[in-house]
Amino acid sequence: MLNKNEKKEEKSLLEELCRDDSELYYFLRQYLYLNPLVGISKNDLGILTEEAGKSGNFRPALDKAIFEGTQNPGERERYIKVIQNLALKAIHAMEQEKEKVEKAGFSDQAASLERRIQNHKFMSERTEDIINVASNFYNEQLLAMREDTGREARAEERKEAEREEQRIMWLERAERETRKKERGKMGREEKMEAEKQDKREELAAGDRKKARAEERKEAEREEERIMELGRTEREARKKERRGN
C-alpha cells in the first residue's frame, strides 16, 4: 500500500493526464488501480466475461479489458469494442436489477444502481479517452514498480555483500587466534617465521578490506546513477505528456 505522499503523487499524475476533463478524472479515479498487477484478476478475459454473464458483476471483466487494452496498443480498436460491449451488457443487467428493487420499494438501492448505470454509459461513450489516459497511467505505474523491484533487489545484494564481509572478517579473526595459540608451542625460529606470516596475512587482509570498501562505494555510486537516470527519464516523460 502506498503512503499518503505517494498517493498524492499518483493523484497528481491522473489529474495531469486528464487535464481539464474533470468528469474523466473522477471516473478513472474510481476505476484505475495503483497496482494493476494486484488489483486486476489474473483470469483470462474470456473466463471473466463468462462469469459476468452469470453473476451480473461485469467489473472484473471491464478492469481486465481496460488493462489489456493499455498493454496491447496494436489491438486498441478491438479492446475498445470489447469494453463498450461489456459496458452495455452491464447496463442491461443493472437496469433489470433496478426495476426489481424499485418495485420492492428500495429507493436507495435503485439510486445506487442508477449512478452505476450512468458510469457505465460514460464508459461506453468515452472508451477511447479512457484507454488513452489509462495507458499512460498504467505504464507509469508499471515502470515505477519495476524500479522499486530493481531497487529492492540491489539493496538485498548489498546486504548480502555486507553479510559476506562480516563472515570473512570473522574467519580471518578466527585464523589469527588459531595461529596465535599455535605459536605458543613453537620453537624460536618457527615462531619468528609464523610472526612474519601473520604480518603478511594482516597486510593481505587489509588489502581485501580496502577492496571491499571500494566495492561498496562503487555500488553506492551505481545506485545513485540508476536513481538519477530514473528521475531524468520520469521528467522527460512528464514533459512529453505536457507537450501532447
Neighbours of 98 (CB within 10 A): 19
Nearest to 182 by CA among 164, 195, 163: 195
Tracing cell 545513485 back to the chain, one arrives at 224
Nearest to 136 by CA among 4, 24, 1: 24
Q: What are the tens digits of pLDDT across the range 33-86?
A: 999 999 999 999 999 999 999 999 999 999 999 999 999 999 999 999 999 999
Interior CA angle at 170 toward 167 and 171, to 5°? 85
Residue 229: per-residue pLDDT: 75
- The answer to whether 60 and 52 are in contact (CB under 8 A) is yes
Question: What grid cell was written down for 11?
Answer: 493523484
DSSP track, 158-203 = HHHHHHHHHHHHHHHHHHHHHHHHHHTTS-HHHHHHHHHHHHHHHH
Question: What grid cell was written down for 111?
Answer: 439510486
Q: Where are the domains of the chain?
A: 4-143, 147-216
Residue 243: per-residue pLDDT: 67
- The answer to whether 70 and 134 are in contact (CB under 8 A) is yes
Residue 2: per-residue pLDDT: 42
In tens digits, what is the pLDDT along the chain, a chain of 244 residues?
344 444 444 457 899 999 889 999 999 999 999 999 999 999 999 999 999 999 999 999 999 999 999 999 999 999 999 999 999 999 999 999 999 999 999 999 999 999 999 999 999 999 999 999 999 999 999 988 888 888 778 888 888 878 888 887 788 778 777 777 777 677 777 777 777 777 777 787 777 778 777 877 877 787 777 777 777 777 777 777 766 6
Residue 4: per-residue pLDDT: 44
Residue 237: per-residue pLDDT: 77
Contacts of 190-198 with CB under 8 Å at 24 or more apart are none
Nearest to 58 by CA among 132, 116, 138, 134: 116
Residue 119: per-residue pLDDT: 95
Q: Which value, to the nearest 10 degrees, does the dihedral of the CA atoms of residues 166, 170, 172, 174 take?
A: 180
Distance, CA of 206 to CA of 192 (rounded, Å): 21
Distance, CA of 7 to CA of 5 (rounded, Å): 5
